[in-house]
Structures are given as structure tokens and as C-alpha cells.
Structure 1
Amino acid sequence: MKRLTTPPLHLLAALIAAIGAVASIGHAVDTAGRPPNFVIIFADDMPPEHIGAYGGTHKTPAIDRLAAEGTRFDEAFCVSSMCTPSRFSLLTGKYPGHCRAPSFLRNNPEDEPYNISWNTELTADEHCMGEIFS
């Protein structure tokens, strides 16, 4: 199993660079000519000690197998204290304030910064990881 223990900002920069590289060439292809598989698991309020691969006592055999066969991130950087803006950032590679979906932003006076609110969708013009890696 590979373990990444670099500082969180370096991981974020590497993730953004990887997404940009894949987007610029259109397809990421391994030596066998097949696109790689990416599995990202989002979980709210779930500490790592609830997963066996992270030293937990709970039985999580499927997640443990994925962790053993792939690359596991041991550190991450959260761009917002709310789950939806953080998911937006991970899926699109953008800061939450760059989302212009009407349900994502509260109505603020023009001279004040945007407040991040709950989001229910990505707009059609947003490119996300699933689209980039397909």
C-alpha cells in the first residue's frame, strides 16, 4: 500500500495539477491503453478511525481492499467549513466562491463578498472530475 504524507497544500496543488494535465490531454491512459480508475469516497463527519485501513476497529473489508490496492491519501485540505462547498471544490478544482449556481450563493449587496450557502446542483457549464476522466 502506498501512503502519502506530504503537507495538505502540496496534495491540493498536486491534485489540481493532475486534473489540469488530464484535462489538457483529453484522456489519461496507462501502459495497457486503458484509462485509470478513480474512486473518491465522500463521507461527512466520519473520522478515519472508523475505517479499518486507517487503524479502526470497525470491519470495512471493501474499503480496506481499495486502500490496499490503490493510493491512499492520509492528509487533505478542506476549503470550507461546510460540506457542499468543499465537494464543489474537489469535483471541479475551483474555489467555492467561483460557483455561480443560483442556489449556491445567497443574495448579498454588490459591495459585500459572496456567502457560501447550500448547493443542490452544478450548472451545465461546470466541468467536473467525472467528465474530465471519462
Structure 2
Amino acid sequence: MLEDCFLDMQGSSTEPWIESALHLQGQSELACPNGERHTLHPDAALLMRVDQQGSQFQLHKGQLVRHVGASSTLSTLRPRFGGNLPATLKAFDVPYGDSCHIRTMTPSARLRQLALDCFLTTPMALAAT
């Protein structure tokens, strides 16, 4: 980062959804309008759903951030679990609206390697698969 900056975060779905976020390098803070603050760094990934307007990531000058994230609606995930969401995901299954549900977790070695592969895989290697 050349300057301190803020990135607005707003989900684009109008139905229950979930997002994961992992920094392989660097640190940021997620500030929600309800006053909650969550730090994201290589040892603390986030599983989250933030419907509230005004949520922002704050990134600090002088660091390189390598970030990987993915999101999905819960209706898309439900069939992958035989129609029932696991307990970890059920807390995110509330009507769309004013949700700010965030769970910090330690990324597993497997998750960290999958994320790292996003930065190490070349376009030629992707074309060969």
C-alpha cells in the first residue's frame, strides 16, 4: 500500500450468503457500523456475512497484502451438504437485511496451500489443466 486506504464492503446478494477471507501476507481491519472490529492477517481468516451498509476494510500504508476470498449464497451451498448446512454455516442462514455475523478462524495448512496456489500458478499452468 502506498497510502492508508479504506475499502467499502457490501455484499451483492439479496439472499443469505457467506464469504471467506484470508490474507496470506499483510494485515487489515474490518470495521462494521455496529462498532465491531475484526483483524485479518495470515493466522486469522474470516468467515463472514456483512449485509450492513458502511462496513469497511482499512489497509495501512507500507505493506503488501496478498488476499484470497470467496463468496456464495447459502442456497447454492446447501445441496453440497445433502440439503442441510453444517452447524458452522447455520448461524449465517438468516434473512437478508442487517446481518453482521463474523467468525474468526485459524486457516488450516490445506486452506493456506490452496490460497497460496492462486498466487503461484501461472496462466500457462492453468491452461494445461
Higher strand share: 2
TM-score, normalised relative to structure 1 = 0.26
Higher helix share: 1
Of structures 1 and 2, the one scoring higher in RCO (CA 8 A, sep 6+) is 2
State which structure, 1 or 2, has the greater radius of gyration over its C-alpha atoms. 1
